[in-house]
Structure 1
Amino acid sequence: MTVTPLPKSLQDTPQLGSWISFASPGKVQVRTGKVELGQGILVALAQIVAEELEVALERVEILPADTLLSPNEGFTAGSQSVEVSGAALRLVAAQSRQALLRVAATRTGHRPEEISCHDGLLRVEGTDIGLDFWTLAPEVDWTQVVDVRTIGRDRRDYRLAGTSTRRGDVLQRLASGGFIHDMAFEGMRHARIVRQPFRLARLASIDRTGFSRRHPTVVIFQKGDFLAFVGADEYAVHAAHDEAEVFVEWTPDPGRKCAAKAPAEMRKEVRKDHAGHRATNSAIRARYSRGYIAHGSIGPSCALAHFVDGGLTVWSHSQGVFALRDQIAACLDLRPLRVRVIHVPGAGCYGHNGADDAALDAAIVACELKGTPVRVQWSRVDELSRGPLGAAMATEIEAALGSDGSVSAWKLSVVSAPQAQRPGTGGYANLSSAEALDPGHAPRHVEDVPELAGGGASRNATAIYDFPDHEVSVSLDTRSPIRTSSLRSLGAHLNVFAIECAMDELAGIAGIDPIALRLRHLKDKRCRAVLNEVAAMSGWRPDDAGGEGRGRGVGVSRYKNKGAWLAAVAEVTVDEAVRVERLWLCVDAGFLINPQGARAQIEGGALQSASWTLLESVPVADGRVPPLNWSNYPILRFSDVPEVETRFIVNENEPPLGAGEAAQGPVAAAIGNAVSHALGVRVRDLPLTRERLMQLLVSDER
């Protein structure tokens, strides 16, 4: 019999007591290495624990990720929190319940199966026996290792998991804050970092005399090319930071190079069958692209740090507190165990934004001002222009049709800037202030996310369709000095856009309805189901000619080819600009722990994808990012939000699948295909701005 391996989280931290505690009467305290980014994951994890223990949800307290106390679960990324951490906590809670029942059985002489639970109270034949989880907990051996063979409750008996539960954390923050930006300590100093205007710039000069006359209450701190303004009055520090260019000069240093070595091109033959459909002359060779994208967090990055008694504590909204701890320690020549990083929620961000950079910023200044708490707040320009960007990339597809109109050959090649440069990736700090302290911290080689983990630039590069000849190649381009890293869905955003737009182009050549062509090449029953369902939801008509500024388009994929399935139909109008009027989304994410939370993730991802598709691109010139704010880096406004209808295909017997990134590619493709349907001209480059469409239409007329 094949035994399912323990979830990775439990392989790394196998002791039961590392995850759960009943030490606080009436409370179940749970530790997880996953963090809240606005996605509602902590509520879903609490539901899993409460379900297995049969206690009220209000009793479960998910404690913040903390490098001193929490299990190391890596980064909160890849839509894997429910799949990995949820699976781990289900085993933890189930084994805790069984251990507590065994202690009760020993005390009372009853068999464990005769004892039932009701909100932590134990009963036999419906009668309370005067025992509860909290009085029994001291007698449990919490050093025991979690056993993968532990059997949890039958899903047919679930009462919490699978229901939409109100997010108490949102209500709390509406009433009393609770974001990292709200934190303050007695005697705290505020710091603003004067960031290098381009990567590895050298700090040429500082007019300290003029600065002191203008800003007498603000202190300059410099270490290498790291420059900070520090003071007790946040507004005075902010005013000084606004005028930094008056007093500070930077210069390029040709001796500093940040071009990293890229890994070898990845090539694979997904399928090779020359006996398949014979190709005709009907073929496409098309290139699809997107530029750099900013994370665009509404609340700029923030961090606090305090160095006292030889130890450094950092509060951060990082997505990976353990990796961040290790890199802070390495940069400041501290032992990792002398550095503690505690997660505090910040503005929602899906990917590697400036949170980790701000944490190192605060740590550097705090080590200089020993005993004094330090708070670093980024500016809007810092957030949009100095944090890591989503990678620019291009995907080229060559495809041919057989005599029956089916796809007979398919070749996809991707060229992308690096997609994964989180702290510690590749053995490098991957933090801007680390490079300011010492240019030697700039990475000399980069890595992509392994295929086994879903890939980075290669994510969803393999089409979900069953083509007789199917080849994929992926290359990283590291020539640009622009710092790039993980942004929601990584390469899947453009790769799915390219695949799905190419399928529409091929359908047009073959004279086949786009959905019909997709179904012809889909054996995946669950993918077929979401595609058929979204067609029914939207009232899809194969004979809809579109045109005259109105169109519809479709897109479908399975995230990472192993996660949630999502099919989207977009309806757009095009006049002065593109406006998405309606979106229909059909999703199969397996068993939904919290349906409303899953819906929020899907629809939030769809709107973010619409913003990327229509508006977002960072202008880059000579390897530099200019100062950006909302006026020159627009995002989707509330007035432009389309009507969204979402439907889930739920199978309670299937395991939960992450939903947070499933919408990015299919929604972009649906919008792109809808715009092409509306204009009668194929659009292949993102974003679909008015200027880009005008150029395309003028070029087509010629």
Structure 2
Amino acid sequence: MKTLQTRRNFIKTTGCLTIGFTLGAVSAFPDVLSPVQELPRGLRRHTSVNAWLEILPDGSLRVYTGKIEIGQGIRTAVAQVAAEELYMKMNKVQVVIADTDRTPDEGYTSGSGSIEGSAMSVRYAAAYARQKLLELAAPRLNAPIADLWISEGRIGTDKNSSGISFSEVLDGRQIEDVVRPPVQLKPRKERHIIGKPVARKDIYFMVAAQPVFVHNLRFPAMVHARVVRPPSYKAKLRSIDEDVAEREFPKLLKIVRNGSFLAVLSRDEYTAIKAQEYVQQNAGWSISEPLPDIADKKLPEYLKSLPTVDETVVNKGNFAGDTSEKKWISASYFKPYIMHGAIGPSCAVGLYKEDQLFIWTHSQGVFPLRETLSGMLDMPQENIHIQGVPGAGCYGHNGADDVAAEVALLALAHPGNHIRLQWSRQEEHAWEPYGSAMILENKARLSPQGRITHWEYHLWSDTHSTRPGGNPGRLLPAQYLKRPMTDDSPGFLGGGYRNAEPYYQIPNQRVHAHFFKGPLRVSALRGLGAYANLFAIECFMDELAEHAGKNPYEFRLMHLDDPRARDVVQKLREQVSAESHPEGTGIGIAFSRYKNSAAYCAVAARVAVDKDNRINLQKMWSVIDAGETINPDGLKNQTEGGMIQSASWTLKEEVTFNTEQITSRDWNSYPVFRFNEIPEVDVTIIDRPDASPLGAGEAAQGPSAAAVVNAVYHACGKRVRRLPLEKYL
């Protein structure tokens, strides 16, 4: 244990991988020692207890996570595991999220990794801290560790009922030891918080319309900004009459121009909006590269005609012998471009003062954003301070990084004042990076007994992540600067074939990926390629079941040998069959294990289709196994939200464009579920307290889509292989 240094200096010096050793003191909980123990990945990078938590003078606990709250409930889950391991109450735990000056660098909040990576790192750090506190308290209390009790920030013995506080044990210092395995987690029989539903406080504040989001931030003498957008992706600014604009709007503080990046600043937001509209109408732009002139129904053919980078993802088994096409069953599917469509448009606040840049943002990666801004602004990273503040809901890479970069440029152009920049609904729809369109082709052969013997799968996709990650050319405003920064790298291609390999036991498999560079800006959207791949795979499994003359449940079960996978499918069958279903409705099911390594999820949907092909999604069921459940309410909320969002994508959503611009710029041209369209949802959790927690935030996206499509078929006999269903049924 060392004297306290600043968190900033401390975090800068952490990051080495440690070699484990067994603590010399007698264990208070010897029954939970593991012979081989791997620490959570976050803790392997930031190895000190003090990187993750601090014990405050009043006995409460402050916990740090590099993840941001995006609706997954990470604040609550992190507080639960810390409180549990240190025998404290939840109200004694405060959580600091995503702050480049205070929290560990955990990269992006993505990939359903918040619980597995961050919460488990906090849990192990807290368990190690408990172990250390007991070791330090034992000689002060003149008692062996096995005779000590620990509760509510105090440690004592049977002879000393009041005990001594954590602060007394530490004598004003902090535990900065490197966490080394084995770490002894609290025995399951003693747990009172993990595995129990704990309400998220932030939801109360949302319902009560209290300040929660970055949009709610207000500072004294704050300046409001709006960016004047070009008419299309590749347009360049030719002319603008700044004098006329300033005469039209006397309250205008400044017009900022840097190449083709153009913005207005005002003391009041109304003036900023009106000035933005005026300048937008009167600026001169040149368009060098129009978008392709194609009808939306021809989009699959156009995308498939583009040059591709090809990759064989899976190639196992034997495809020799009789390959007659007559013995193959085939089907082709299509998923269009879809958008994040965050309910709250992207927003950020920036301040440049005394050579220091401060940014408040809902970016899902404050540390990667700092690195990227450093490159764009040619500013040392230590001069950039970024604090994560929740946004109004977005799973994936939307405009949050872009608006933060824009406000950084404006803060440098107008130092000394906080500057608030918020996108409009039209800007959010037109300029965010979308989820790529995908073409998916299945082909399979069945044995006489109805088992799949051969499986061949081709997918066509653009990249599925262009998160900045230190590359300024991926920030929207960077390409419009006087000295433009661009990016021609392919991004994360592997996201395109996420879940493209079936989780089923199929002896002969080939999976091929073909990556094109499409016409629209794309990046990470919840589930990446898993949504489309599972939509295609699980719809095809339904078609194959029919060819084999098998029940859809039985057909899947006969190809699954993982007991946990079988459990979720069988439990789903029980849940659905326990209810009566109205005449004229159809039930569709689907299954997946997200990334083939995370949570298991089976989904069923019930729909009715009327004579005018109107689809009524009545109810959805899900059974999910995410290993040990930290907060069942949180897991259910994640799964319910994923089911509803996926169903909305599947039934309604599609980005449209013409040769100049995106045309789906509002909720009429890009419809999503309204409240009266949301189905009843029923989620069942299979809790496995002895198993490791598994990522679950994106587990429901793929199977939900296929369940809805399969239900439509069973309701009306029409097999739709192109999304959205409401358009192509």
27-36 or 205-214: which moved more?
205-214
Superposed counterparts of 1:218-229, under 5 Å: 218=252, 219-229=254-264
Q: Distance in 2 between matches of 1:292 and 1:280?
A: 31
Give the aligned partner of residue 112 of structure 2.
79
Give the aligned partner of residue 367 of structure 1.
412
User: 1:599-635 deviations in whole A, cap 9, x for unaligned?
Assistant: 0000011000010000001002337312601111110
The answer to whether the 8 A contact 1:278-1:403 is kept is: no
- CA 1:255–1:199 in 2, change beyond 3 Å: closer, same or farther? closer
Q: Distance in 2 between matches of 1:498 and 1:437?
A: 41
The answer to whether the 8 A contact 2:605-2:620 is kept is: yes
Q: Equivalent of 1:591, from 615, 621, 628?
A: 628
The answer to whether the 8 A contact 2:259-2:483 is kept is: no
Give the aligned partner of residue 59 of structure 2.
26
190-199 or 128-137: which moved more?
128-137
Give the aligned partner of residue 728 of structure 2.
692
| Counterpart secondary structure, 1:661 | coil
- CA 1:369–1:463 in 2, change beyond 3 Å: closer, same or farther? same
The structural deviation recorded for 1:668 is 0.3
Give the aligned partner of residue 561 of structure 1.
596
- CA 1:590–1:254 in 2, change beyond 3 Å: closer, same or farther? closer
Q: Distance in 2 between matches of 1:362 and 1:126?
A: 60
| Counterpart secondary structure, 1:512 | coil
Q: Which amino acid aligns with 1:225?
A: S
Q: Distance in 2 between matches of 1:263 and 1:88?
A: 40
Give aligned pairs, total: 680
User: 1:36-65 deviations in whole A, cap 9, x for unaligned?
Assistant: 012211101110000000001111111131
Q: Which amino acid aligns with 1:671?
A: V
Q: Equivalent of 2:391, from 340, 346, 353?
A: 346
Give the aligned partner of residue 252 of structure 1.
287
User: 1:165-189 deviations in whole A, cap 9, x for unaligned?
Assistant: 1112222444431311111111111
Q: Which amino acid aligns with 2:636?
A: R
Superposed counterparts of 1:493-504, under 5 Å: 493-504=531-542
Q: Distance in 1 between matches of 2:386 and 2:144?
A: 44
Q: Distance in 1 between matches of 2:230 and 2:563?
A: 52
Q: Equivalent of 1:460, from 477, 499, 519?
A: 499
Q: Does 1:215 align with 2:245?
A: no
Q: Equivalent of 1:334, from 379, 388, 395?
A: 379
The answer to whether the 8 A contact 2:97-2:388 is kept is: yes
Q: Equivalent of 1:524, from 548, 554, 562?
A: 562
Give the aligned partner of residue 446 of structure 1.
490
Q: Which amino acid aligns with 1:448?
A: F
The structural deviation recorded for 1:564 is 0.7
The structural deviation recorded for 1:593 is 0.4
The answer to whether the 8 A contact 2:245-2:278 is kept is: no
| Counterpart secondary structure, 1:91 | helix
User: 1:353-376 deviations in whole A, cap 9, x for unaligned?
Assistant: 111111111110000111111110
- CA 1:243–1:629 in 2, change beyond 3 Å: closer, same or farther? farther
Give the aligned partner of residue 147 of structure 1.
180
Q: Which amino acid aligns with 1:79?
A: S
The answer to whether the 8 A contact 2:62-2:93 is kept is: yes
- CA 1:95–1:184 in 2, change beyond 3 Å: closer, same or farther? same
Q: Does 1:657 align with 2:694?
A: yes
Q: Equivalent of 1:474, from 513, 517, 520?
A: 513
- CA 1:277–1:599 in 2, change beyond 3 Å: closer, same or farther? farther
- CA 1:268–1:246 in 2, change beyond 3 Å: closer, same or farther? closer
214-223 or 204-213: which moved more?
204-213
Give the aligned partner of residue 696 of structure 1.
none
User: 1:163-220 deviations in whole A, cap 9, x for unaligned?
Assistant: 0011122224444313111111111111001123322320122233442333232232
| Counterpart secondary structure, 1:660 | coil
Q: Does 1:119 align with 2:163?
A: no
Q: Equivalent of 1:49, from 64, 82, 85?
A: 82
The answer to whether the 8 A contact 1:262-1:447 is kept is: no
Q: Does 1:233 align with 2:268?
A: yes
The answer to whether the 8 A contact 2:314-2:510 is kept is: yes
Give the aligned partner of residue 11 of structure 1.
44
Q: Name structure 2 gaps, 5 residues minimum.
A: 1-33, 293-302
Give the aligned partner of residue 206 of structure 1.
240
Q: Equivalent of 1:195, from 229, 236, 261?
A: 229
Q: Distance in 2 between matches of 1:637 and 1:212?
A: 41
Q: Name structure 1 gaps, 5 residues minimum.
A: 450-454, 694-702
The answer to whether the 8 A contact 1:210-1:247 is kept is: no
The structural deviation recorded for 1:483 is 1.1
| Counterpart secondary structure, 1:580 | strand
Q: Which amino acid aligns with 1:324?
A: L
The structural deviation recorded for 1:254 is 5.5
Give the aligned partner of residue 432 of structure 1.
476
Q: Equivalent of 1:397, from 430, 442, 467?
A: 442
Q: Distance in 1 between matches of 2:706 and 2:548?
A: 19
| Counterpart secondary structure, 2:496 | coil
The structural deviation recorded for 1:551 is 1.7
- CA 1:412–1:280 in 2, change beyond 3 Å: closer, same or farther? closer
Q: Distance in 2 between matches of 1:285 and 1:81?
A: 38
User: 1:366-405 deviations in whole A, cap 9, x for unaligned?
Assistant: 0011111111011001111111111111111111112222
Give the aligned partner of residue 657 of structure 2.
620
Q: Which amino acid aligns with 1:433?
A: P
Q: Distance in 2 between matches of 1:279 and 1:465?
A: 24
- Give the % identical residues: 38
When normalised by structure 1's length, the TM-score is 0.92
401-410 or 89-98: which moved more?
401-410
Superposed counterparts of 1:260-271, under 5 Å: 264-271=309-316
| Counterpart secondary structure, 1:251 | strand
The answer to whether the 8 A contact 1:50-1:60 is kept is: yes
The structural deviation recorded for 1:444 is 1.3
Q: Equivalent of 1:162, from 191, 195, 209?
A: 195
| Counterpart secondary structure, 1:659 | coil
Give the aligned partner of residue 698 of structure 1.
none
Q: Distance in 2 between matches of 1:309 and 1:12?
A: 32
The answer to whether the 8 A contact 2:309-2:516 is kept is: no
| Counterpart secondary structure, 1:441 | coil
The structural deviation recorded for 1:144 is 1.5
When normalised by structure 2's length, the TM-score is 0.89
Give the aligned partner of residue 697 of structure 1.
none
User: 1:271-324 deviations in whole A, cap 9, x for unaligned?
Assistant: 314699999944322211111111111111110000011110100011100001
Q: Which amino acid aligns with 2:255?
A: I
The answer to whether the 8 A contact 1:103-1:139 is kept is: no
Q: Which amino acid aligns with 2:556?
A: R
Q: Distance in 2 between matches of 1:133 and 1:441?
A: 52
The answer to whether the 8 A contact 1:45-1:89 is kept is: yes
- CA 1:290–1:549 in 2, change beyond 3 Å: closer, same or farther? farther
Give the aligned partner of residue 677 of structure 1.
714
- CA 1:192–1:7 in 2, change beyond 3 Å: closer, same or farther? same
Superposed counterparts of 1:128-139, under 5 Å: 128-138=161-171
